[in-house]
């Protein structure tokens, strides 16, 4: 691994002395390392047997967020697009974690990021949500995109994996048929991180919020906020600060479970039946 890391550093024109290579915990999908050279410290992710666009999707998502100027992300220095089973790396800025609470600033910064919009929904390239390939296309309505590429994509994956079948499959199909009645057709198409749970943001040493590991798309900002409430990791003042700069819609509490359903389906399809009861509860609530 050390030799591969040294060869990867050559791709960013860093041939200086390597002082430290330390594994970094916290990720289930990649091997991650803190690497320090004479030039600078790096955060390097390494994987193999992944799709060509695996690290490209993450790098492009970070670039889009950075271009808004609303919130900090790690700078990307290099990513590989592997062929076959070869190792691939993503080389980024190392950001030292800090102890100050950045949650109020996170709410404000995320609200500003969400005000960067397009006139269409989705994303023109495949991305990843967790380890699952996320197909995307541009759609003229949010309802079409959410039904076809979010709920429909997880339905297809779940049927193939055997996690969605029988009554659950019937109910999900019925909910998808009714999705136009449950979520807005044409909300603002905000730039969204797309996988914003508590482990995908951090506080820098300077006290600034930092977003990591995006799964980028353009869509209803309530979709992003719904996920922040699903598994915790966001203090109570986060939503208050967010709402002060970008108000959530009046029907947010009604649409929130429909949006959380997507992320629960993702977890069902990755981790298995431990998430099945939460999926079924939402389906029963909305379609009986």
Catalytic residue numbers read 195
DSSP 3-state assignment of 19?
A: strand
Cα separation, 220 vs 217, in Å, equals 10
Residue 88 tokens read as 């691939």
Please tell me the distance from the alpha carbon of residue 65 to that of residue 113, in angstroms, as a whole number: 7
247 burial (CB, 10 Å; 0-12 / 13-18 / 19+) is exposed
What is the C-alpha separation between 158 and 272, in angstroms, rounded? 10
Structure tokens at 101: 């609470």
Query: What are the angstrom distances between the C-alpha of 106 and each of 57, 168, 204, 207, 242?
Result: 23, 36, 12, 10, 8
Q: Which own/partner pairs from 154-159 qualify as long-range (CB within 8 Å, at least 24 positions apart)?
A: 154/262, 154/265, 154/266, 154/268, 154/269, 155/265, 157/132, 157/269, 158/265, 158/268, 158/269
């Amino acid at each position: 691994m050390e030799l591969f890391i040294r060869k990867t550093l050559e791709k960013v024109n860093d041939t200086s002395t390597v002082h430290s290579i330390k594994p970094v915990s916290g990720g289930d999908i990649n091997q991650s390392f803190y690497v320090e050279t004479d030039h600078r410290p790096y955060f390097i992710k390494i994987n193999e047997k992944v799709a060509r666009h695996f690290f490209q999707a993450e790098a492009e998502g970070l670039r889009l967020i950075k271009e808004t100027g609303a919130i900090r992300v790690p700078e990307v220095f290099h990513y590989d697009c592997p062929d076959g089973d070869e190792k691939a790396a993503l080389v980024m800025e190392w950001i030292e974690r800090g102890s100050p609470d950045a949650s109020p600033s996170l709410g404000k910064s995320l609200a500003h990021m969400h005000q960067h919009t397009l006139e269409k929904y989705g994303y023109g390239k495949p991305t990843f949500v967790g380890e699952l390939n996320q197909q995307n296309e541009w759609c003229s309505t949010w309802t079409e995109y959410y039904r076809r590429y979010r709920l429909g994509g997880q339905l297809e994956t779940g049927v193939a994996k055997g996690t969605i079948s029988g009554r659950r499959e019937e109910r999900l199909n019925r909910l998808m048929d009714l999705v136009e009645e449950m979520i807005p057709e044409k909300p603002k198409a905000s730039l969204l991180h797309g996988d914003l749970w508590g482990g995908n943001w951090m506080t820098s040493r300077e006290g600034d919020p930092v977003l990591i590991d995006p799964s980028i798309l353009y869509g209803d900002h309530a979709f992003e906020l719904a996920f922040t409430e699903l598994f915790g990791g966001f203090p109570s003042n986060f939503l208050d600060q967010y709402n002060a700069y970008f108000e959530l819609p009046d029907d947010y509490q009604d649409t929130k479970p429909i949006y959380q359903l997507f992320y629960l389906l993702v977890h069902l399809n990755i981790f298995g039946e431990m998430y099945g009861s939460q999926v079924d509860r939402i389906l029963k609530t909305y379609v009986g």
